[in-house]
Amino acid sequence: MADPFQQARESISRIPLPHINFTTAALTTLTAFLLWYTTTTIIQYRKLSHIPGPTLASLSLLWLLRTSSSTKAHLEFFDVTKKYGSIARIGPNVLLTDDPDLLRRMWAVRSDYKRSRWYKSLRLNPKRDSVVSTIDEELHNTLRAKLAAGYSGREVDGLEARLDRNILDLVGLIETKYMTANKPFDFGRKIQYLTLDILSDIGFSDRFGFLEADADLWEYLETLEKNFPTAMMLTVLPWVVELLGSPLLASLMPSDKDPIGIGRMIGVTNEMVAKRYVVGDEKKVVKRDMLGSFVNHGLTRDEAESETVLQVVAGSDTTAGAIRHTMLYILTNPRVMESMRREIDSHKLSWPVVTDAEARDMPYLQAVIREGLRMKPPITGVMLKDSPEQGDTWKGVYIPPGTKVGACVYGLLRREDIFGDDPEQFRPERWLEATPEKRLEMEGAVELIFSYGRFKCLGRNIAAIELNKTFVELIRRFDFAIVDPEKPWKSRNAGIFLINDFWMRAYPRAVQTT
């Protein structure tokens, strides 16, 4: 009897198979790809051809990738707006603007502009989105509603007292460890320790202890600074971040099991959150701090884990950046330092720490703070939004549907029509000399640092209190000297300013007000 399997094999072997020329197939595939790429490039180019910008930027994402991954992206974006105008093209489908009115239109509560996938690159916890990284409008609004009371400070017991004790810890560290021994210290690092301890204090009622240790715990800051430039590059390729968040590549991202770095910070904040829940979303411990407010307003445990790590990372670096930059401007402008000290000495201020209300009533201090924020905004990322489905027309310029439009805040804060003919100069007096109308215009422009409308920074109020108190307490207690005035620090930009080696010495002030 014939073997049926053998017969089947012989039948199959007699079926004619097509002869495949792999060289021809490869050329066909390459030709198809080039045809597709050329066609889409021409379509995209023509879509925004009426808006000027760098030639390479209009044809490819390479210009935007190179710029975003550089350490001077804010300056390159500023140059684009100076050369090509208030609405310029920086990508095949990407625009940039320094027009404050257009930004308010885009960011308004009822605006038709939506968050783009750019925000996906800001996902700190690879497993889930936060209020910053989500592009779901409904989820974003829901999270903001749950977070607002905690970020305002209204539901944090002893908010100012918590800030005061951390500022006094910083003062004590400088006095006892460095001033008395005439030792230099990295002012930039100490300020970051301060902002991290403040945020953990008001956030969880349990300080991290950076100031007490006088060290970069878990190598957190070092790791963060190494990763920020990559994160900015990935804002141009947000699909890479989403891919890295998949289960197959999860091992490449920070994990709460990591012993150091951002992963360890995620682990620490997750541990803080776990103390507030028994199982799942059931409440366990209630405290009058930011996390307690989040829980009481309905944040689930998963949501709380995402929002607390965001609160620490976003809040500490931006506030520290504002303090460091403004302090450098103060120290390198003796006229400004003298004016600040005259104002401090002429006011009857609380001791050992000035109150927020007292600081807000000091016009020169407020002018210095605004001017410092204007000169070096804490955040310089472009924060891309998608234009409405029906498109938009602004001051005669048509913005097609689905176009990504970003903010050049650094350029906005150097507009001569808003800030006068000396916008590159640190001059707090501009705020005191201005007419009420002009001052309101300048204040409105500077406030755009913190976004606007439904995107406005939730932590704006607490950051303002930190700035008010910290400058007064440092300046009324110490004389500071920069160790190397020719090279005061190492600075690079990656959406925020990364500052290293800001070495100073501290000396007791000749006259103090107690």
Does the annotation place 457 within a ligand binding site?
Answer: yes
In sequence order, which residues have a C-beta less than 8 Å from that of residue 136 and are 6 or more positions away?
129
Contact 479, 509 (CB under 8 A): yes
Residue 383: CA atoms inside 13 Å, Cβ hemisphere, count? Answer: 23
Q: Is 167 exposed, middle or buried (0-12, 13-18, 19+ CB in 10 A)?
A: buried
How far apart (Å, rounded) are the C-alpha atoms in residues 256 and 125? Answer: 9
Q: Pick the closest to residue 419 from 459, 453, 448 (CA basis).
A: 448
The region that residue 427 occupies, defined by phi over 0 for left and psi between -120 and 50 for alpha, beta otherwise, is beta
How far apart (Å, rounded) are the C-alpha atoms in residues 87 and 102? Answer: 9
Q: Is 355 exposed, middle or buried (0-12, 13-18, 19+ CB in 10 A)?
A: middle
How far apart (Å, rounded) are the C-alpha atoms in residues 377 and 73? Answer: 13
Q: How far is CA 290 from the centre of its chain?
A: 20
Q: How far is CA 122 from CA 39, 73, 116, 402, in A?
A: 32, 17, 12, 21
3-state secondary structure of 320: helix
Q: Pick the closest to residue 358 from 435, 459, 471 (CA basis).
A: 471
Length of the chain in residues, anyone?
Answer: 514
Annotated binding site for heme: 457
Annotated binding site: 457
